[in-house]
Chains A and B, each alone.
Chain A
């Protein structure tokens, strides 16, 4: 528990435990529990899965199987900026495959990974419901449409710059 407190703070951990206490009474609620964990912590690390396993009696091996089966769960912390690039049919036929390759190259990470400075994480989405703007990507809820590989990289660079100047402003 100490490691969990250290990772996420006592309040957040206790809030999760309270929810877990309720949810575990409902049979077949593992997905709901994992949803809570994903939302609350941004990812579901070993310590959280171990806690869920102890509380529910479901072996960690099974929980890990579920977590890695569904793309909405993650075992590594998401970046400060979460990029989801649409690889749905409409976006894909309009070249989102090339955008993915370009982003991977530019950020130096693969799908499902986070840059070492913790700034960006990259995941592939299946249709964001904005097919008219294809190909699209979404970063922290904001949609960027009609992209080309180069434009996608420009968006990333713009965010980097903004983030820097914001940080500088905070220091002042």
Chain B
């Protein structure tokens, strides 16, 4: 890349010629304030907080979209720049609902940080206020337009990244609003509840539907046996909420915290991930053997399932019939485990701690009801669990490590990698290869399916058959691949699809970071997931003794009648809009 020389606040430096002024300033060690800017996905120069002065340019350009030029003289801290930024911020604040104390993002808000940084003491503009109703109909996501700053980062996630198109900018000028078409609720829109909009939002305009209160009620109910389970990705995210570095593995502290919060039994969704591999692996072998529908596509990610049901109804039969792991475990807790303990299933309350917002919708799917009982009663996001731990005053960082309860807390390394894109594929390969070939694997790690690229392909030979595989993360990438399959351009045997970019580690329920940091966050959390796999003595699902035990004691064999009833489900195509006006 060619270099150009620019001068920024008197410092002369060389930068690549394709840089924006913002990038050049950051290289010069100057942290230009931004609000709407999100690298690659949302470079629109709309908030005007990043304005700078450039010699020979009459107005104040937005540095985030202004390209550098050789010899450019940039000034970032002049009275004119400071005044313009302050006025722009005050204008954004002037019709913002400034009830920060009661806001879910209080102290974790980019707008608040900017107000503090600019030392805003008084807002000059006393114009019209906005007063829109809350959209809280969706079981997963709440939208509060009064907290919205119209940065459009959520729209970029929803449209450009995820290709869902549930929300967009409507109206004009002061009436501009982020909304679904015809002002319908997110619940009636194409929304797949992935929650990526939440993690993109700089303020409290988007957040998960609260399940904390119902969990507190259950915990306080003496008749209830409250059982909790935790997804693989939660253990590599939760620590960040307590100031630990990104990528910290906090499994033991998490279990200890859950016991201190009053959960009677602490199980691990990882157990059910191993179980998923037994069921899904067997399903794949059956489909390959008996000419079933191929490619088979994984079904662990409810965001992906929602996307498939709405946008790709012709792929319904390709989906594995396996429920997602936490739903499997919920079903087993209310049957197998309740029987074991002599509990009435109606008195058992199952809480799933998930990196995911779509799971809040999934637990209400009528397909998953058994005699009017839900498999899972509440879903807490990683963020919600952190809030409970903070409220209870538990010193998380200094907690001792504790172990999961047994038998549904035992798991292998194959289960924990479900948290990262490619993990389900690798776990399935570890088990399917050994079962089909009847001999131990030479190498447990299938490096060829790892990585963070949106679409990856691999061919793995199992017992002489070249299995063609694809691994996809993010529904926008899923669209790319499915369109190619539809047109006959590509063919596969088995595909793993996760709804969120990066997989569950960066799901919509995980601790929030600025979109520009997400690539690095994904890398660190994925590394932690694979480290957690390496740390475990057993790394293949079918070697999990508790899995062997449950098949012997209760389920019989994979894809058996009990499995069919408790662990499998079905899908139906859904309309994009639930309106006919």
Contacts and interface: CB of A to CB of B under 8 A. Distances in A.
B504 interface: no
A61 B169 CA distance: 8
Contacts of B223: none
B213 interface: no
Given A3-B580, A50-B577, A61 B159 contact: yes
Contacts of A59: 159, 165, 168
Nearest to A61: B168
How many B residues are at the interface, by size bracket?
A: 10 to 19
A61 B580 contact: no
A170 to B, nearest CB: 31
A75 B577 contact: no
Contacts, number: 45
A68 interface: yes
Contact of B581 (A46, A65, A69, A70): A46
Nearest to B168: A61
A101 to B, nearest CB: 16
Nearest to B158: A61
A68 B167 contact: no
A3 B166 CA distance: 23
A2 B165 CA distance: 25
Q: Which of A47, A49, A62, A64 has most chain B Cβ within 10 Å?
A: A64
A61 B177 CA distance: 12
A79 interface: no
A128 interface: no
Interface in B154-207: 159, 165-172, 180-182, 190
A134 B41 CA distance: 48
Interface in A36-58: 45-47, 49-50
B121 to A, nearest CB: 35
Q: Is the interface of A mostly helix, strand, loop or mixed?
A: helix
B171 A69 contact: yes
A60 interface: yes
Contacts of A62: 165, 168
Interface in A45-96: 45-47, 49-50, 59-65, 68-70, 75
Contacts of A69: 170-172
A46 B580 contact: yes
A46 B182 contact: yes
B181 A60 contact: yes
B576 interface: yes
B171 A68 contact: yes
Given A61-B165, A62-B165, 10 more contacts: A46-B181, A47-B580, A47-B581, A59-B168, A61-B159, A61-B166, A61-B168, A61-B181, A68-B171, A70-B172
Interface of A: 3, 45-47, 49-50, 59-65, 68-70, 75
23 contacts: A3-B580, A45-B581, A46-B181, A46-B182, A46-B577, A46-B579, A46-B580, A46-B581, A47-B580, A47-B581, A60-B165, A60-B576, A60-B577, A61-B165, A61-B166, A61-B168, A61-B180, A62-B168, A64-B170, A64-B181, A65-B168, A68-B171, A68-B172
